[in-house]
């Protein structure tokens, strides 16, 4: 049972959408369990949301109501401000800043806010001995931040990699399993409610890029540098690419990769080919997966639900319980004042590349493309020509390992051959 000498840990919850109500339900359902595990009772004092009259499928009558989340953050009767509103500016940012100014610890699920303002917020909080915890901001219910900051704290991290947006993974795996084109599956995902109000946050890689930048900061001891993440969405991936990749034993994933190299910190969130038999290749539907590689531990794989009421609220409560237990760690695993300003490095690590293009069906067309690759220092591993489309010929090339700069140089040379129809699709083949 909890230590009776310890006072209740009092929460103020800003945001009563899916995640906020999930937190309320966990506290109401598991109050005794939480108290037994944390050594004190965790209670909700007050809540805030835009519409007080909305039916939220939870009894909120015991809690004080604040229309303004900033006012909630300043209340004297809360110890921890839980922000699950979203948005990287506006009320969420103002409320977290107010909570820190008022001496409150903060738990948030807001990856966009932390990706843009995390360093400044961490400096402000740590200067006052306060916490910002954000397990729920990355990969939903997967405890990846806890793994990096605690379980793997003695490792030099070599690489962080993963599928961090369930909507994109749903779209890509659905295209493959049903043989459906991107536009049709995109619309299906919209109707199922999988897409953000601004779909580009999902399919453009922005949401997943926010998450990658936070993991990279923890893994490599650097300031969050979301602006340096190379972003490429999945909109250019066609059913042809899905099929051709499968023929060669690969799956296409929106894959985040961060690694420290001699040139600086590489961060990319782009569609990649991964081996079909690998854990990432076998990942289906809306599930997330994060792969962490450390010098002592080797490779570990974390898999689980990346969104939803229960998983995300579970992650929020994991942070709350750590605070209740008295565990106090710096926001990004080491003091924010010690985080290095990273040197952003465009992807320079060599890898094989998949190139799909359409050529005019005339003598010497393929030879011209091969010559361009040779001039750029790129050698060909596989080349396949598929059934003709009238006067055009679809061509697939898989290269040996090359840098992205060399691939881009070759693609630039293609334009001068006079045989290229449209824009080539270029996808990295990632070693996993």
Q: What positions carry a catalytic annotation? A: 211
Question: What is the rounded distance in angstroms from the CA atom of residue 311 to the CA atom of residue 281?
Answer: 23
Q: Do 159 and 259 meet the contact criterion of CB atoms below 8 Å apart?
A: yes
149 token code pair: 């900051």
Q: What are phi and psi of 83, to 5 degrees?
A: -105, 115
Residues 6+ apart with CB under 8 A from 347: 230, 266, 268, 403, 404, 428
Distances (CA, A) of 286 to 7, 160, 163, 196: 40, 20, 10, 14
Where is 43: in which H helix or E strand? strand 42-48
Distances (CA, A) of 153 to 295, 334, 348, 418, 419: 11, 10, 27, 54, 53
Write down the residue that tokens 């490599």 correspond to: 220
Q: What are phi and psi of 56, to 5 degrees?
A: -115, 10
Question: What is the rounded distance in angstroms from the CA atom of residue 312 to the CA atom of residue 18?
Answer: 9
Q: What are phi and psi of 277, to 5 degrees?
A: -85, -5
- How many CB atoms are closer than 10 A to CB 389? 11
**Coil, strand, or helix at residue 82?**
strand
Distance of CA 221 to the CA centre of its chain: 18
Helices (H), 228-302: 239-247
Question: What is the rounded distance in angstroms from the CA atom of residue 92 to the CA atom of residue 167?
Answer: 24
Question: What is the rounded distance in angstroms from the CA atom of residue 62 to the CA atom of residue 315?
Answer: 24
Residues 6+ apart with CB under 8 A from 114: 108, 121, 132, 134, 137, 210, 214, 224
Distances (CA, A) of 150 to 102, 121, 140, 147, 332: 28, 21, 18, 6, 11
Question: What is the rounded distance in angstroms from the CA atom of residue 207 to the CA atom of residue 288?
Answer: 13
Question: What is the rounded distance in angstroms from the CA atom of residue 329 to the CA atom of residue 326?
Answer: 10
Distances (CA, A) of 345 to 116, 282, 378: 19, 30, 21
The length of the chain is: 432
């Amino acid at each position: 049972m909890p230590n009776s000498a310890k006072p209740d840990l009092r929460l103020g919850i800003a945001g009563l959408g899916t995640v906020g109500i999930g937190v309320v339900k966990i506290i109401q359902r598991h109050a005794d369990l939480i108290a037994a595990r944390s050594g004190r009772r965790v209670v909700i004092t007050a809540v805030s949301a835009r519409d007080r009259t909305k039916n939220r499928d939870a009894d909120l009558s015991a809690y004080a109501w604040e229309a303004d989340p900033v006012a909630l953050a300043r209340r004297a009767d809360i110890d921890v401000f839980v922000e699950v509103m979203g948005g990287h500016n506006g009320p969420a940012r103002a409320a977290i800043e107010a909570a820190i100014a008022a001496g409150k610890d903060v738990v948030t699920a807001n990856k966009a806010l932390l990706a843009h303002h995390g360093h400044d917020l961490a400096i402000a909080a740590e200067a006052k001995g306060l916490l910002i915890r954000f397990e729920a901001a990355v990969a939903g219910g997967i405890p990846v931040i806890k793994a990096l900051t605690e379980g793997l704290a003695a490792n030099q991290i070599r690489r962080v990699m993963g599928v961090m947006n369930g909507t994109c993974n749903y779209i890509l795996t659905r295209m493959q399993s049903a043989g459906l084109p991107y536009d049709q599956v995109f619309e299906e995902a919209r109707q199922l409610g999988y897409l953000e109000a601004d779909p580009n946050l999902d399919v453009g890689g922005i949401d997943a890029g926010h998450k990658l930048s936070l993991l990279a900061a923890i893994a490599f001891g650097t300031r969050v540098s979301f602006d340096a993440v190379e972003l490429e969405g999945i909109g250019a991936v066609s059913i042809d690419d899905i099929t051709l990749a499968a023929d060669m034993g690969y799956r296409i994933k929106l894959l985040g990769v961060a690694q420290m190299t001699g040139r600086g910190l590489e961060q990319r969130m782009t569609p990649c080919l991964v081996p079909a038999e690998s854990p990432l290749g076998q990942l289906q539907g809306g599930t997330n997966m994060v792969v962490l590689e450390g010098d002592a531990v080797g490779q570990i794989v974390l898999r689980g639900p990346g969104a939803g009421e229960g998983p995300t609220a579970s992650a929020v409560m994991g942070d709350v319980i750590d605070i209740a237990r008295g565990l106090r760690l710096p926001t990004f695993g080491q003091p924010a004042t010690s985080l290095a300003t990273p040197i952003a490095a465009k992807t320079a690590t060599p890898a094989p590349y998949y190139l799909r293009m359409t050529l005019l069906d005339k003598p010497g067309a393929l030879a011209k493309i091969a010559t361009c690759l040779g001039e750029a220092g790129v050698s060909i591993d596989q080349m396949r020509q598929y059934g003709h489309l009238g006067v055009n010929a679809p061509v697939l090339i898989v290269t040996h390992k090359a840098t992205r700069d060399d691939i881009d140089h070759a693609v630039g040379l293609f334009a001068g051959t006079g045989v290229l129809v449209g824009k080539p699709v270029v996808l990295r083949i990632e070693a996993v």
